[in-house]
Amino acid sequence: MNRFTRMVLLVVASVSFVFGISGALLFFPGDCDHTCQAQGASPAPAVNWEKSFAGGSDQAKRGHKYILADVYTDWCGWCKRLDRDVFTNSSLSAYLQKDFVCVKVNAEDPQEGSALAQQYQVTGYPCALVFSPDGKLIGRIEGYEEARDYISRLHEIIGAGSK
């Protein structure tokens, strides 16, 4: 084999190796359960989502808590990312558990979701509607926010709603 052929084979093998490793990391990143367990960390506490807005509202009144209604659709990629990356944040989930009753509202659900989305003019997803304990809409978070920004927005809404 001549020198040129060996160089070509070496370049092809190197490029294949790099793309193979990159593809494996991109498409098979693993999940946090194995990583967290290996590092000895505990998984983030989960948000307890109510499925009924009416039931969540009753619970919020009894417990004197705010209501966070996460209005989503099944096809919304940003909604899925919010669930995966933001609502699993330990600081945010602890804050929500302490001060809120959280309700998942599918805007395309004919039972309750579509009427709620129409009543509060939700046209983009994700959209969080924030209600006072007595059921009055006091604010909304439209679109995707990182966890720390989400917490800040909730603080702003609650602060403005209590005035």
Looking at the domain assignment, is residue 39 inside a domain?
A: no
- Answer yes or no: do 90 and 53 share one domain: yes
- Both 96 and 135 in one domain: the answer is yes
25 shares its domain with 101: no
Global pTM reads 0.70
What is the three-class DSSP state of 134? coil
Same domain, 73 and 138: yes
In a 13 Å sphere around the CA of 107, the CA atoms on its Cβ side amount to 22
Q: How many domains would you assign to the chain?
A: 2
Could you tell me which of 144, 19, 155, 137 has the C-alpha nearest to residue 78?
Answer: 144
Domain assignment present for residue 44? The answer is: no
What is the model's pLDDT at position 162?
56
Residue 22 vs residue 111, higher pLDDT: 111
CA angle 45, 107, 158 (to 5 degrees): 55
**Cα R_g (the chain), whole angstroms:** 23
Taking alpha carbons only, the member of 163, 162, 50 closest to residue 116 is 50
**For residues 98-122, average pLDDT:** 94
Task: Find the CATH number of the domain harbouring 111.
Answer: 3.40.30.10
**Within a domain: 92:** yes
Percent of the chain at pLDDT above 70?
74
Least confident of 25-34, 39-48, 108-117, 151-160: 25-34
- Within this chain, do residues 26 and 55 fall inside the same structural domain, yes or no? no
Looking at the fold, whether 13 and 75 belong to one and the same domain comes out as no
17 plus 87 within the same structural domain: no
122 backbone dihedrals φ, ψ, rounded to 5°:
-85, 115
- Domain range for 71 is 49-161
Q: What value does the mean pLDDT take over residues 12-34?
A: 48
> Looking at the DSSP assignment, which residues form a beta bridge with residue 69?
103, 129
Sign of CA dihedral 17, 19, 20, 26: positive
The mean of the pLDDT values for the chain is: 81
